[in-house]
Structure 1
Amino acid sequence: MNERPIGQQSVTVRHEPVQARAAQRVEALLDAAAAVVVEHGIEHLTTALVAERAGASIGTVYRYFPDRVAVLVALAERNLERLRHALERVLAAPHETWADATDAVIGAMVDTFREVPSFRSLRTGEGLDLGPSAREQVAPQFADRIAEYVLERWGIELDEAGRESLVLAVGGLDALVTYAFLHDPHGDPRYLALGRMCAMQHLTAAFGDPVTADDPRDGAPIT
């Protein structure tokens, strides 16, 4: 007989549906929070407004988020994941040169600002005032991923100075793209162009002149 010890219960049936419903509820609450941020601004977001916008009780909000800061942090994390996924889609393609890859990355950033609600005002949450626990800087994280892509695609390995130039390129680009969307929901093309120009200057210092995978720089190996 297939007997179960006394007191032991099966847990294979209900957990997945419950977890799925909870995840859907959290997504709905974050969608509502994004709408509140867009309409009223970060400083005016409250758990009560989130509940009202989501058509939920305030108790439902508190079940997942203890306060408004927790809501903003979760929304910022979701924004970061959406930006990271956009970047990964871009880097899944075998671009001819690192300049082509850069243009694709910039395009992905601009699309994220245009298409993800709350991204213009909240971005990835680096500007949130969280007291002693500041959010981790995003530019070095994306610089690491880009450096990995460039090494795999063109065999370009960065030294310390090159790594610094790459981080400056990503951080400066982020700042100028952010400013481009400060007063223009579509992105002021002047600042977008300036962001690309500044990024290209720093990236050229890091990677050298753009070359194709068939024409490696200084004979560097191509993987």
Structure 2
Amino acid sequence: MKKILILFVLLVQSLLATDILISGAASLKEYLNKNTSEYEKQNPNINFILNLGGSGTLKNQVEQGAPVDIVFLADRDMMIDLKNKKIILDEFPILENKLVLIKNIHNKNSKITLATGDPKYVPAGRYAEQALKKSPLDMDYSLIYLKDVRSVLNYVELGEVDYGIVYLTDTKFLKNSEVVKIFEKSTHDSIEYSIGVIADSKNKNECIQFLNFLKGKNWDE
């Protein structure tokens, strides 16, 4: 009887929970999974839904009126633009990252391939483009653009390409690859992750409370 009552209470809570949709950069997957889960445990009335992808693509979706409550991108300039357009209430930079070159440790191809995010849509791709101009690699390679930084990581891990440029925080998942270079900060724009609440969100108060919860939480906290 007690188990049935507990299940009933949990069911009622889930039905009454407020859904908050977060559009976040693909590289934030683990960070958001961890912190939204922790917040949901502390606040059973909140249920997060994550929409992850390339920051440029997510920004375009938000500008076109996607039903999002919070946007969290790997490019502060994009967030400032959304703020200036009054699409978000404000923007808060709360995380930083570094750019690295990774290499598949098994590949021995004569023709080298290097993958980055598409600079038109993926901040990591734009940072990579800047870094390669200021700090060229001492090798010949064919460049391949992918939809987001996690796709780059996966392609290198699977051996589909030889090298890839990703964020330092992504490298904790490497099994078949290794970091061969960390790009100096001076070779690219500052990598800042900024978050903001959509101005038209019906859940502004709940979103602001979650933003306050995230402030001060670094990648591993």
TM-score, length of structure 1 as denominator length: 0.23
Q: Which has the larger share of strand?
A: 2
Q: Which has the larger share of helix?
A: 1
Greater RCO, CA 8 A, separation 6+: 2
TM-score, length of structure 2 as denominator length: 0.24
